[in-house]
Amino acid sequence: MIRLSEVQKSFGSNAVLRGVNLEVAKGTSTVVIGGSGTGKSVLLKCILGLVTPDSGRIEVAGKDITTQPRDEFLARFGMLFQGGALFDSLPVWQNVAFRLLRGELKRPKAEARDIAIEKLRRVGLTPDVADRLPAELSGGMQKRVSLARAIAANPEIIFFDEPTTGLDPIMSGVINDLIREIVSEMGATAITITHDMSSVRAIADRVAMLHKGKIRWEGPISEMDASNDPYVDQFIHGRAHGPIETVR
């Protein structure tokens, strides 16, 4: 479904991606782990075309992303941003139904609102939040609204960028379970980037570890604990000592 071949990206002298190779099969949930600043977000942005790679090839459904019509291509995606990225000036339901109120997927306002409320219900929010502004909601509720927006147009592929960052452990668990359920029931292909190991265990079918701009290890979640890779071991057990350099 998604294939990255030798993808490289530098910002000035900072080489973030140094030849990333990764395949994500249709309908699977892959979690990319790695330390802060290892280029996980850049990886997702390269696939979406928000950042242009310096070299390499990215294919979605067998087609090079650079050759596909932009709107048609993006219509296949949903994305949950790290900070939610909800539009401050719009009420919650218009955030959720954003795609349904304009462009090719446009439909009557009442119908778009009904779909938005249905999606809000799906992520555990009651209809009374629909007319509130995002700033009036807690961090966990904002994350849920953002999740509802990501799934509003029933995308084939969903990206989750640090879905549990800034949430308490219970809310993190709720979001993890929601992501797992939604991805399974929609049959969507998912890529999640995180350094929260509880998310990894809850969400992943497969795990890939990004380190120093390359995929260090990739395999099914069931094999992660027995990977025998010292980098993966250090990361998943959160050890301060090991091959991954830490600044103290």
Partner 1 sequence: MNALRAVGRAVIMALAIIGRVTIFAADTISHMVRPPFYWREFGVAIMQIGFYSLPVVGLTALFTGGALALQIYSGGARFSAEAVVPQIVAIGMVRELGPVLVGLMIAARVTSSLAAEIATMHVTEQIDALTTLSTNPAKYLTLPRVLAATLVMPILVGIGDVIGILGGFVVGTERLGFNAANYITNTVNFLEFHDVASSLIKGAAFGFIAALMGCYYGMNSGRGAQGVGQATKQSVVAAAVLILAANFILTEAFFSA
Smallest distance, partner 1 to C-beta of residue 226, A: 36
Strands 189-194 and 14-24 come out as unpaired
Structure tokens, 211: 């380190």
Structure tokens, 184: 């399974």
Smallest distance, partner 1 to C-beta of residue 84, A: 8
* Residue among 30, 5, 8 at smallest CA distance from 18: 8
| Nearest CB to partner 1, comparing residues 17 and 79 | 79
Please enumerate, as own/partner, the contacts of 141-145 that have beta carbons within 8 Å and a separation of 24 or more.
Answer: 142/84, 142/86, 143/80, 143/84, 143/167, 143/171, 143/175, 144/120, 144/175, 144/178, 145/84, 145/86, 145/92, 145/95, 145/96, 145/120
Other beta carbons less than 10 A from residue 111's beta carbon: 11
The kind and range of the H/E element at 30 are strand 29-33
| Nearest CB to partner 1, comparing residues 49 and 127 | 49
| Nearest CB to partner 1, comparing residues 83 and 169 | 83
Smallest distance, partner 1 to C-beta of residue 222, A: 32
Rounded to the nearest 5 degrees, what angle is found at the Cα of 174, between the Cα atoms of 171 and 179? 125
Smallest distance, partner 1 to C-beta of residue 234, A: 29
Smallest distance, partner 1 to C-beta of residue 83, A: 6
Q: Are 16 and 42 in contact (CB under 8 A)?
A: yes
| Nearest CB to partner 1, comparing residues 76 and 132 | 76
> Which residue ranges make up the site for partner 1 (CB under 8 A)?
45, 48-50, 70-71, 74-75, 77-79, 81-83, 85-88, 98-99, 102-105, 149
| Nearest CB to partner 1, comparing residues 40 and 45 | 45
| Nearest CB to partner 1, comparing residues 80 and 244 | 80
Structure tokens, 67: 């050759």
Smallest distance, partner 1 to C-beta of residue 86, A: 8
